[in-house]
Structure 1
């Protein structure tokens, strides 16, 4: 299914491509494991928005390419404020990989970056709790309030 979506994407005239089209194509790659195809699409996008970065970070995180996902976050943050959605995508990938250490580090970083934003912190705490619940380690999460 992912390859069909990408084939359709490549048929769209370049002048008609916009943020929504790129996000859909990257999502199709992400959910189909087509990381290489996603990288090619991302590389050729001239105006990368927060949503496009977040979707690519999600794609890399789903493939456990955490270092590359973090590099994209760093690249984005050179010119923009941090975005919780990018960290949630990274944390979700770490949860799927059952990577307790990385999950805890991402959660701790989110607490520092977004101390006033309770919604993403609560969601992040739930994801982190799921990582600990699926491992043998005890959950040391403190209340995000």
Structure 2
């Protein structure tokens, strides 16, 4: 199914590609384990938005490529404020991998970065609790 979605994506004329199309293609790769294809698509996107970065970080995190996901977060944060969705994607991947140490570190970082943002912190606490369950 993922390969079919990517085949359709490649048929879309370049001038019609936008954020929503890229996010859908990267999500298809993410949910199909097509990390290499996602990397190629991401590399060729000229205007990378927060949603595009977050989706690629989710893809890498699902594949347990945590260092690469963190590198993308660092790259994004060179020019932008931190975004909780990126850290939630990373934390979700760490939870799925049952990586207690990484999950705790991500949660602690989120508490420092987003002390006033209660909704993401509550969600992050639930993900962290699931690692320990």
Task: Give RMSD over aligned pairs.
Answer: 0.1
CA–CA separation in structure 2 for the residues paired with 1:15 and 1:98:
41
Q: CA deviation at 1:130?
A: 0.2
Q: Output the TM-score relative to the length of structure 1.
A: 0.92
Mapped to 2, the partners of 1:101 and 1:132 lie a distance apart of 10
- Superimposed CA distance per residue, residues 76-129 of structure 1 (whole angstroms, 9 cap, x where no aligned partner): 000000000000000000000000000000000000000000000000000000
Larger radius of gyration: 1
Kindly tell me the number of residue pairs found equivalent between the two proteins. Answer: 133
* Structure 2 unaligned blocks of 5 or more: none
Q: Which residue of 2 aligns with 1:117?
A: 117
TM-score by length of 2: 1.00
Greater per-residue helix proportion: 2
Q: What is the deviation of 1:61?
A: 0.0
Cα deviation, residue 22, structure 1 = 0.1
